[in-house]
Amino acid sequence: MARLERPVAAFVLSLISGTAIAIGGVICSLWTAYFLTRWMWGMMHWWTETVFGSGFRDIVFVMGLLGIIFGIIIIVSAFMLYRNPRQHEI
């Protein structure tokens, strides 16, 4: 491939999707860290224990962390694709 034949569309789409996934993971993690630990206490405490069991908060937090990790992996892969287009099959 010549220098001008870079996969620009694939790079841009991968960059946008990786950023969206990472931002979604950050929002998910912050939501569980703030709202499910502070906001849902008080009069509705029994409701939070039955509906949002202790495992729910942990599962959502881990899903947020996985979103951050996978978003970063996609962003790094997009830059690798743009910098070295000959190895696009890897």
Tens of pLDDT, residue by residue, the chain (90 residues) = 455 588 889 899 999 999 999 999 999 888 877 766 555 555 555 555 555 556 677 788 889 999 999 999 999 999 998 998 887 766
How does pLDDT run across 6-28, given as a tens digit for each residue? Answer: 888 989 999 999 999 999 999 98
DSSP assignment string, 14-83: HHHHHHHHHHHHHHHHHHHHHIIIIIT-STTHHHHHHHS-HHHHHHHHHHHHHHHHHHHHHHHHHHHHHH
Distance, in Å, from the CA atom of 52 to the CA atom of 37, rounded to the nearest integer, reads 11
Cα 57 from chain centre: 17
3-state secondary structure of 49: helix
Instruction: Classify residue 85 by its DSSP letter.
Output: G
Distance, in Å, from the CA atom of 80 to the CA atom of 89, rounded to the nearest integer, reads 12
